[in-house]
Structures are given as structure tokens and as C-alpha cells.
Amino acid sequence: VFHLFLYTRKKMRLLLFLMICQCAINTVNSHHVSNPNFILLMADDLGIGDLGCYGNRTLRTPNIDRLAEEGVTLTQHIAASPLCTPSRAAFLTGRYPIRSGMAAFSRVGVFLFSASSGGLPFEEVTFSKLLKQRGYATALIGKWHLGMNCESSNDFCHHPLSHGFDYFYGLTVTNLRDCKPGQGSVFLKGIQKSIVIPIKIAGITLVSLAIVQYIGLLKVPFQALGYCLLITAISLAVLIFFFYHFRHLNCFLMRDHQIIQQPLSYENLTQRLTKEAVQFIERNTNAPFLLVLSYLHVHTALYASKNFRGKSKHGLYGDAVEEMDWSVGQILDVLKKHNLSDKTLVYFTSDQGAHVEEISSSGEVHGGYNGIYKGGKSTNWEGGIRVPGLLRLPGVIQAGAYISEPTSNMDIFPTIAKLAEAQLPSDRIIDGHDLMPLLQGKVTRSKHEFLFHYCNAYLNAVRWHPENSESVWKVFFFTPNFSPEDSNGCYDSHVCFCHGGFITQHDPPLLFDLSRDPEEKIPLTPETESRFYEILRVIHLAVDNHTRSLHAVSDQLSWDNLLWKPWLQPCCSSLFQYCHCDYDSEGSLPEVHSG
């Protein structure tokens, strides 16, 4: 009888424990926050292997790791593109960048100049526009990289304030090595081969014509020869002027529509961005808000303030990561201070994987770590598109949970729209899906049966996660040619390109099962995978359906839209004064502890 009593008591305890657990789960699932705030934190070129919550044991990221502990960690979170501009366009609109014209058919897949005419079309609906219509205060602080002007230097047709943001403090283009003296020039390195050869050809042609004219073999009008020389001289002068003043022309800080620092100063830059973010939150403690804090870290040129410089185990790159983590901590602390933690969804990600080819002139590695995954930025190997995905909303979504289902940065658009009770646009395809059912544990399967991976405007790969299967099939129609051949990137060209001699086409396509081979080491064959041709058949059908859903749009990254146009050049003074000003008053910056 005594043993029976003990056995019964143990069963009652177990039953009570299970009931408490179920009650806790139901509480999370049923809890609802009306008009929650949204803080979306986006790193630049951060590797998934750079964070402690994704396995890094040498970089200190306690604040970002706190988001993982108190929220959900997505382990197969996919950027819609492996490049900044198209990835950010997809993030803001919930749509593949090919749909908005933000995917390039040319070699260059991002905006490089402040005076380019391309950008995110005004007709695109961003989540900031939807939330602004719902009465939210909206701000973008940090990097934009989606264009600025169309026809004049102050029409601001592509500016953040034209896409639903009330407040902007940051860079309209991006952070480049060329922006920071002494850091070299990725820009010059990338176009050196393209410019030197035409200049040589033009020079040899002009000299040859002059010699032929002099010895009398051919009569060339002196006027025509003079015009040729004049055009060549003017072209060279413009190029020299542009490259020499690249930093002044393209690297500047704006507040709303006003340039407040030209060229950009890196002194306490992360502290200034953080201060702006904290002040925006404190201005809106009694009203719903959307804050997109888009870090310049860890895109080159790398930088870190004196409190973090030299403190990490991974050089300047590690210093930058740890400084960014400090900033995240400041944001979380101000939410706690104003009792906003439980009514604010916080999301942390990177726009794409780490840029593995980034190495300084002294040989220091300035790119991040993509963990076990192959490749990096500019490629659709997993290292280029599998990014951190952390979401926290206490009491609403699970804490400490891991979700391995395929998700996309395009999913943020419908997720926050649903939470804010905003109406999704019905006149266009939204490729993202609401994440809340997954985050709350109501479902276990992602709505993304297929994900399409573009290299610029070219369909590069497709991911298929069949129903009732653990497999995640991934097909490559072409792959980049790594250089050197046995390396993990395109070191000779600094980034990988998407067509011509830079790629290898595959027929039949390469096939991987990421559930068994996440490192994409061994392509499957008809001999090693009995369903090989059936898998390809299903994927080709999905590609056909996807392709039929695309419509012709204006190419925002055409050469015409990419090239520098002097009449679009923003300048806080004048070109003759080298576009120089500094109206950005630091005031009191937040207290910094490097930990």
C-alpha cells in the first residue's frame, strides 16, 4: 500500500507539472499586445557564426545573446539576396527584389554613388508606410542604401522620408573603405581593370592618329583630332576629380533632408547612432513606434571607438562586433527603463552573410565568420544568405526556442503588419509570410515550401522543403567561379559576379539536401539520390509558376541609373568648396563600457 501511495503521488506531481507547462504555453499563445512597438536591428555583412547564440565562443555578444535567451532563434533564416541593396529592398517590401526592379542585370548589383538616379520606387509599399498609416511614429537610423534623388539634387524621390519614415539620421548610400582615409579603395580596385584598358586604347589611338597625320599617310582634320583630345582630357579630368573627391561626394551624414556632416566622421559614430535611437524611443514612450536601426557595422571600412578598439580577440572586426553588441544593449536597457519591453517586438538580423574576401592591405581579416556554411556575401551558397534571425516579444512568443524551418527576411513585412493590424496591399504579390504562428508554436511547419535565390536578376538557386519531409532540397543552376579555385570566395575580384565567365552553368543542376549536408559539400547524383529527377521536375514546375508571376518593371540598377550624375550630387556647401560641413553636434553621448 505504501509503494502504491508513493507511485500515485509521483504520477500526480507529473500530471500537475504537465498542466502547468501547458498553461504556460497557452498563456504565451493567447497573450496579445495591442499596437506593439517594433525595433528592427539590422547589421551589415555580419556572419551567422559571429554571435555567441549561434556558436561563437570568442566574440563577446551578451546583449544580442540575451535576445536569443528571451526570444526565438531562427536557425534557417534566409536573406532574400546576398547583396545589400536588393536584400534591404526585399526586407522593407516583403517582396523579391526582382519584382521592384531592385535586382541588377548588369555586373554591379548595389548603389555606389549618392548621385545615382535609381532607387526603391515610390510605388512600392514598405512596412513603414503601412505603420505610418496606422498612426505609428517611424524612424530609420543608420544605413539606407536604396537611392535618394531622381531628377534633381533635392527631389528626394527615393529618400527614406518618401517611404514612410518620419525621421531619418544616417547614410543614404553605404559605408565603404573609400570613406575612411587610410583604409584603401575597394571602389578603385573593383573598376581598375575596366578603366585602365579603355584609357590605354584611347591613348594609343590618339597617338597613332597624330603619327599618321605627321608622316602624311592619312589626312586627319586637325579640328577632329583636337575635339578627340579635348573630350579625352575632359573625361580624364572628371574621373580624376571624382575619384580624388569620392569621400566628400559620397560619404556623408544626413538628418531628414539635410546634410549635417560631409564627409562622414567615424569618431564616436556608433555612439551617435545609438543616441539618436534612444532619443527617438524616449520621445515616443506613450505612442506606438517603429524604429529601424540599421548599423554600419561590420561593413568595411571597419571602425570602433576608443573604448572598444583593441579589446576583442579578433582585431578591428571583433572590436566592431562588440561595439555593436553594446549598442543593442543600450536599446534593450532603454526599453526596460520605460517599461516597454513587454510591448515591443525586437528583431535582430544581418542583410546578408559575411564578406569573406575582405582583407586589409596589411593582411588583417576584415570579414566575418559564416560558421560551417560555404561562401559568403554576393553568393547564394548558405554562407551568403543564411543570417541571424532573433525575435523577442515577452509573453507573446516563446522564450529560448529554436526554429529550424526555412524563414526569410521578407517575412518581417507581413509579420509586423499583422501585429499592427495593418491591411496588406491586395494589388501585388507579397512573398513573405506571417511568422507569428511559428513563433508562438501554433504550427511547426514554415509556409515557405519554396524559396527562390537570385544572384542580381538571375535565378541562381531554389530551396524546396516538401510537406511531411525533413529534407530541404537546394538546386543550383549556376555557381560562381571561386578565385583562387580552391578558396572559399572570389578574392581576385573582391566579390563574386553573376554571369559570363564569372560563373559555371550546371545541366543538370547541382542538388543538395541541406538537412544532411548543410555545408553543401557533396552534390547528389541519380546514383546517390533515387528521387533525383523527380526532385528536379518539381522544382522546375515551381520555377515556371514563379516566373509567370513576375511582371516587367523599370530596372533601377541599370547602368543609366547607377552612374554618377553631377546634377544629382548632394552637397552641403558647393563643389568648389569640396562639399565640406559639420553641423552634427555630439552633445552628451551615452556612457560606454566595453565589458
Give backbone dihedrals phi and psi of 513, rounded to 5 degrees, phi first: -110, 105
Mean pLDDT over 442-462 rounds to 97
Confidence label for 205 from pLDDT (cuts 50, 70 and 90): confident
Catalytic residue among 53, 77, 145, 299: 145
**Cis? peptide before 298, omega within 30° of 0:** yes
Single out the residue of 177, 145, 82 nearest to residue 496, CA to CA: 82
Mean pLDDT over 289-310 rounds to 97
pLDDT in tens, 386-400: 999 999 999 999 999
pLDDT in tens, 335-345: 999 999 999 99
pLDDT in tens, 397-437: 999 999 999 999 999 999 999 999 999 999 999 999 999 99
Confidence label for 230 from pLDDT (cuts 50, 70 and 90): confident
Residue 331 pLDDT = 98
* Mean pLDDT, the chain, integer: 91
Tell me the three cell numbers of residue 470. Answer: 525533413
Residue 586 pLDDT = 54
Residue 543 pLDDT = 98
**Higher local confidence (pLDDT), 578 or 368:** 368
Residue 13 pLDDT = 55
| DSSP at 153 | T
Residue 377 pLDDT = 98
pLDDT reading at 509 higher than 80: yes
The Cα–Cα gap between 347 and 388 comes to 10
Map out the domains of the chain with their CATH numbers. 37-176+251-568 (3.40.720.10)
Could you tell me which residues come within 8 angstroms of residue 436 by beta carbon, excluding any fewer than 6 positions away? 397, 415, 418, 419, 442
Residue 47 pLDDT = 98
Question: What does the H/E/C string look like for 292-361?
Answer: EEECCCCCCCCCCCCCCCCCCCCHHHHHHHHHHHHHHHHHHHHHHHCCCHHHEEEEEEECCCCCCCCECC
**Cβ(129)–Cβ(166) under 8 Å?**
no
Confidence label for 510 from pLDDT (cuts 50, 70 and 90): very high
pLDDT reading at 4 higher than 50: no
Mean pLDDT over 289-313 rounds to 97
**Cis? peptide before 263, omega within 30° of 0:** yes
Confidence label for 269 from pLDDT (cuts 50, 70 and 90): very high
pLDDT reading at 580 higher than 80: yes
Tell me the three cell numbers of residue 398. Answer: 516563446
pLDDT reading at 27 higher than 50: no
**Higher local confidence (pLDDT), 131 or 212:** 131
pLDDT in tens, 471-497: 999 999 999 999 999 999 999 999 999
- In 373-388, which positions are buried (b, 16+ CB within 10 angstroms) versus exposed (e)? bbbbbbbbbbbbbbbb
Annotated active-site residue 84? The verdict is yes
pLDDT in tens, 343-355: 999 999 999 999 9
Residue 7 pLDDT = 46
Global confidence as pTM: 0.90
Confidence label for 227 from pLDDT (cuts 50, 70 and 90): confident
How many CB atoms within 10 Å of residue 538? 18
pLDDT reading at 21 higher than 70: no
Catalytic residue among 23, 31, 77, 84: 84
Single out the residue of 106, 103, 101, 100 nearest to residue 86, CA to CA: 103
Mean pLDDT over 445-468 rounds to 97
pLDDT reading at 325 higher than 90: yes
Residue 212 pLDDT = 72
pLDDT reading at 314 higher than 80: yes
Confidence label for 3 from pLDDT (cuts 50, 70 and 90): very low
pLDDT reading at 453 higher than 60: yes
Residue 186 pLDDT = 74
Q: What is the DSSP string of 130-149?
A: HHHHTT-EEEEEEE--S---
**Higher local confidence (pLDDT), 119 or 594:** 119
**Cis? peptide before 484, omega within 30° of 0:** yes
